[in-house]
């Protein structure tokens, strides 16, 4: 085993220490794997991609649901220094094509459920595409793709001879920027290792824990806890995609002890008819992230005897930044807690100076788990990281005990059902319609999703309809990015520099997306 920091070797080490302990229950596949079994399969996948001619530093895109294949395809190649690009399977072929080209992916491993969108990408044969190998998870792969299981079966389950080192890139996770173009957040084996240590030393984790994974693994909010669980030797119960009733049933059936969910998921769980019939007595806590959780939801779970621990973090921080722990969850309801272990947090004003307790300012985060860079975007990296401090673009206050409470966002990002939606990206699509003279997108409150995009448009022609615009967006954007409504006005309010006055628009259109 390598003495260097290598995230893929989490499986190697656990297979050595606890070979017969259950590592994973893949609910949809109805398969259970020990640490030894899942490690052998991961090694086979590693050796498979190496046999295709891929080398350390090459990028492998991963378009797959939660399941054992995701773990094998992530941790196996990572052992040998291959860089994983987890892809959001809600994106369109056009959006995915940009990311694949920007990241320079040489191979893609994809679930058969996404074969249609992958075939669209393959058929384009666009200039600049670096894709050379296609591996399909399914029984009847496309004629241009290799079979996932056959590819594994043909390979050795021995550990790769050459291992990744701590400074090697581990994954590139794309998140849309305020310019509308997705940016690849690069994390190394070392930054992820510090993120794992940070989570393991701050959260109330135990060796005997059974963790229910319901967030999609293309999000850092799912990937980081996954790695922390493997590091801690926990058992993972992996749900392919979130279903609120099945979540309650699995908590009872598998005796789940911990979980992480976004606010929308927690609200959906409370809406399940007769959810009280399930036994959740083994559940110690649920961590909530991606967006501030309403106090009413926290109190509703408190009445059930379930602690909700709010967490705050970003893709750029590798997940962790602040967490409210079990000792303070009830006393400081609404707070996201204090800085994680191995993490520093500051609240600063516009001049960059620290603010006193109680004053709202931007959150800066520093720690070994901060991203290395934005892929091929040195200017954006320099704008975001200064002297090791990451500018989050989020506004919060810190009380005299050091507890952080999120207030607002400097950036205009909308969080809908746990998914980040950047107005600039949606605005760009709206402006591509020949009947649109100007456009702006804001977030409106939604009981179901937390927030939803709402479009404000200036027409070029009087005959333009909201239905026509929404159909246009539907062809170019993932569903969670689609505006839930459209309003037409004479002019978009802007400041002297031309920046859209989103505050004015929010005041002008304060309605709910549920109406």
Q: How many folded domains does the chain comprise? A: 2
Residue whose C-alpha is closest to residue 148's, from 68, 205, 86: 68
Last residue of a domain, one of 197, 221, 237: 237
DSSP conformation class of 294 = P
What's the mean pLDDT in 335-360?
92
Q: Check whether 465 has a pLDDT greater than 70.
A: yes
What's the mean pLDDT in 464-488?
94
Determine the pLDDT at residue 454.
96
Tell me if 45 is assigned to some domain.
Answer: yes
**245-302 pLDDT, tens digit each:** 999 999 999 999 999 998 888 989 999 999 999 999 999 999 998 777 777 788 899 9
What span, in angstroms and rounded, lies between the C-alpha atoms of 173 and 374? Answer: 10
Determine the pLDDT at residue 27.
97
Low-confidence winner among 86-100, 207-221, 380-394, 405-419 (lowest mean pLDDT) = 405-419
**46-56 pLDDT, tens digit each:** 999 999 999 99
pLDDT band (50, 70, 90) for residue 125: confident
Full DSSP string of 309-320:
EEEE--GGGTS-
Residue 158 CB contacts under 8 Å (≥ 6 apart), including other chains: 43, 47
pLDDT band (50, 70, 90) for residue 328: confident
**71-101 pLDDT, tens digit each:** 999 999 999 999 999 999 989 999 999 999 9
What's the mean pLDDT in 435-462?
92
Tell me if 227 is assigned to some domain.
Answer: yes
Helix/strand/coil for 450: strand
Q: Say what angle helices 189-202 and 220-232 make with each other, to 10 degrees.
A: 70
Domain of residue 186, residue span: 9-156+164-237
Tell me if 402 is assigned to some domain.
Answer: no
Tell me if 323 is assigned to some domain.
Answer: no
Low-confidence winner among 28-32, 177-181, 396-400 (lowest mean pLDDT) = 177-181
DSSP bridge pairs for 146: 135
What span, in angstroms and rounded, lies between the C-alpha atoms of 449 and 87? Answer: 22
Residue 222 CB contacts under 8 Å (≥ 6 apart), including other chains: 66, 213, 215, 216, 260
Q: Check whether 230 has a pLDDT greater than 50.
A: yes
What's the mean pLDDT in 374-384?
96
In the chain, count of helices (H) and strands (E)? 15, 27
Residue 440 CB contacts under 8 Å (≥ 6 apart), including other chains: 423, 427, 455, 456, 492, 500, 502, 505
pLDDT band (50, 70, 90) for residue 499: low
Tell me if 438 is assigned to some domain.
Answer: yes
DSSP conformation class of 172 = E
Last residue of a domain, one of 210, 237, 264: 237
Tell me if 269 is assigned to some domain.
Answer: no
Tell me if 350 is assigned to some domain.
Answer: no
Last residue of a domain, one of 237, 260, 284: 237
Determine the pLDDT at residue 428.
81
**CATH number for the domain harbouring residue 426:** 3.30.300.30
What span, in angstroms and rounded, lies between the C-alpha atoms of 306 and 480? Answer: 29
Mean pLDDT over the full length of the chain = 91
Q: Check whether 2 has a pLDDT greater than 50.
A: no
Tell me if 223 is assigned to some domain.
Answer: yes
**CATH number for the domain harbouring residue 88:** 3.40.50.12780
What span, in angstroms and rounded, lies between the C-alpha atoms of 398 and 413? Answer: 22
Output the pTM of the full model: 0.84
Of all residues in the chain, the percent with pLDDT exceeding 90 is 72
**302-324 pLDDT, tens digit each:** 999 998 988 999 999 998 899 98
């Amino acid at each position: 085993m390598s003495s260097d920091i290598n995230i893929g070797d989490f499986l190697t080490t656990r297979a050595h220490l606890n070979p017969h302990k259950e590592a994973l229950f893949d609910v949809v596949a109805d398969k259970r794997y020990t640490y030894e079994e899942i490690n052998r399969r991961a090694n086979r996948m590693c050796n498979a991609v190496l046999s295709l001619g891929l080398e350390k530093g090459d990028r492998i895109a991963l378009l797959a649901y939660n399941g054992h294949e995701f773990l094998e395809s992530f941790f196996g190649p990572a052992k040998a220094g291959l860089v994983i690009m987890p892809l959001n399977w809600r994106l369109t072929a056009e959006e995915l094509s940009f990311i694949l080209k920007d990241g320079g992916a040489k191979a893609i491993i994809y679930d058969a459920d996404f074969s249609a969108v992958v075939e669209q990408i393959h058929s384009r044969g666009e200039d600049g595409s670096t894709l050379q190998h296609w591996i399909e998870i399914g029984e009847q792969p496309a004629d241009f793709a290799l079979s996932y299981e056959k590819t594994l079966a043909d390979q050795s389950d021995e550990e790769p001879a050459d291992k990744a080192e701590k400074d090697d890139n581990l994954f590139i996770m794309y998140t849309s920027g305020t310019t509308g173009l997705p940016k690849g957040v690069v994390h190394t084996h070392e930054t992820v290792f510090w993120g794992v240590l940070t989570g393991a030393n701050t959260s109330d984790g135990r060796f005997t824990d059974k963790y229910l994974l319901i967030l999609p693994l293309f999000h850092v909010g799912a990937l980081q806890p996954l790695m922390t669980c493997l590091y801690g030797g926990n058992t993972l119960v992996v749900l392919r995609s979130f279903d609120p009733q099945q979540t309650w049933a699995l908590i009872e059936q598998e005796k789940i002890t911990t979980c992480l969910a976004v606010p929308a998921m927690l609200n959906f769980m409370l809406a399940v008819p007769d959810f009280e019939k399930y036994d959740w007595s083994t559940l110690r806590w649920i961590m909530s992230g991606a967006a501030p959780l309403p106090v009413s939801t926290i109190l509703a779970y408190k009445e059930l005897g379930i602690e909700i621990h709010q967490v705050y973090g970003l893709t750029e921080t590798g997940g962790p930044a602040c967490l409210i722990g079990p000792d303070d969850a009830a006393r400081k309801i609404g707070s996201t807690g204090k800085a994680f272990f191995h993490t520093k947090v500051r609240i600063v004003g516009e001049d960059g100076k620290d603010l006193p307790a109680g004053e709202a300012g931007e959150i800066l985060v520093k720690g070994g788990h901060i991203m290395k860079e934005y892929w091929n975007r040195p200017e954006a990296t320099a704008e975001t990281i200064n002297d090791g401090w990451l500018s989050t673009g989020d506004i919060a206050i810190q009380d005299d005990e050091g507890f952080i409470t999120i207030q607002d966002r400097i950036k205009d990002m909308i969080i809908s059902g746990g998914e980040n939606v950047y107005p600039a990206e949606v605005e760009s699509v709206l402006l591509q319609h020949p009947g649109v003279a100007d456009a702006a997108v804001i977030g409106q409150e939604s009981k179901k999703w937390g927030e939803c995009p709402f479009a404000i448009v200036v027409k070029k022609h009087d005959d333009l309809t909201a239905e026509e615009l929404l159909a246009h967006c539907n062809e170019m954007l993932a569903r969670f990015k689609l505006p839930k409504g459209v309003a037409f006005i004479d002019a978009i309010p802007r400041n002297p520099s031309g920046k859209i006055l989103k505050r004015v628009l929010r005041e002008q259109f304060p309605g709910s997306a549920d109406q």
